[in-house]
Amino acid sequence: MSRDPHREARDLLGAYALDLLDDAERASATAHLDGCDECRRELDFIAPAASALALADPERVTAQPAPPPDLGDRVLSTIRAERPARRNGTRMLVAACAAALLVGVGAGVAGGYAAFAPDPEPQEHVAATVHDDRVDAEALLVPHTWGVEIRLTGEGFGAGETYRATLFDESGGAHPAGEFIGVGENPMVCNLNSSLLREDAAGFEITDESGDPVVTSSF
Ligand SMILES: [Zn+2]
């Protein structure tokens, strides 16, 4: 094990909060948490989102307020270095969204964890129209200085299918905002980033592998 204990514990915090660690991992994380204020603070910060994810009832996802988007973001970024060995549904969900995160983000996040600072900018709920009976979805926009981010909360995106997000400017020009892999009935929160500024963005669509729209929004 060449990694330092702090980094190791940080990578496990999301799974720790979701109670997905095996005994050895949990013991190791607990031992580190006992002696590390920074990791304890981080755990306090992500725990509410983790419990919201764990308790999410698929039937009620669209009727309930989404977990605070920044918290979900932190959970996902914390977990994204997780070992992918286990075929646990929640881990797969996290892995799928983490993959989407990595595909969707620009250079700003390439540096790693520290780039996920709490976002001071306002989030904007936008109306989303769903075109697939299996899917429930809600969307928030986050107007970053480098471009607008779509925070997509939803369920029913076909497991294993690749979905593509595209933003449109006011002239109808298409701007890619990343891809993600559907996780079926599991609730998911995906962060889809583009280089289009909020002031220039007029709508988005999420398309399936056939290019058919699954979720669309105009704003
Ligand atoms: Zn630590």
Tell me, what CATH number does 167's domain have? 2.60.40.200
pLDDT along the chain (219 residues), means of 10: 74 84 90 90 82 62 55 65 49 46 40 44 87 93 90 92 95 94 89 93 96 95
Is residue 126 domain-shared with residue 182, that is, in the same domain?
yes
Span from the CA of 190 to the centroid of ligand 1 (angstroms):
26
pLDDT at residue number 20: 84
Is residue 53 domain-shared with residue 108, that is, in the same domain?
no
Span from the CA of 33 to the centroid of ligand 1 (angstroms):
6
In-domain check, residue 96: no
In-domain check, residue 97: no
Span from the CA of 115 to the centroid of ligand 1 (angstroms):
18
* Structural domain containing residue 67: 5-83
Instruction: Kindly report the backbone phi and psi dihedral angles of residue 177, in degrees, each rounded to the nearest multiple of 5, phi listed first.
Output: -130, 25
Span from the CA of 50 to the centroid of ligand 1 (angstroms):
19
Span from the CA of 34 to the centroid of ligand 1 (angstroms):
9
Span from the CA of 66 to the centroid of ligand 1 (angstroms):
28
Is residue 48 domain-shared with residue 110, that is, in the same domain?
no
What per-residue string of b and e applies to 25-35 under the rule 16 or more CB within 10 Å gives b?
Answer: beebbeebbee
pLDDT at residue number 10: 84
pLDDT at residue number 146: 86
Which residue intervals of the chain are DSSP H helices?
5-17, 23-35, 37-55, 69-79, 89-104
pLDDT at residue number 57: 58
Span from the CA of 89 to the centroid of ligand 1 (angstroms):
27
pLDDT at residue number 54: 63
Is residue 108 domain-shared with residue 138, that is, in the same domain?
yes
Is residue 141 domain-shared with residue 183, that is, in the same domain?
yes
Contact assessment for residue 218 and residue 158, using Cβ atoms and an 8 Å cutoff: no
Q: How many domains does the chain have?
A: 2
Is residue 169 domain-shared with residue 118, that is, in the same domain?
yes
Would the CA dihedral through 85, 43, 183, 22 be positive or negative?
A: positive
Span from the CA of 82 to the centroid of ligand 1 (angstroms):
16
pLDDT at residue number 46: 83
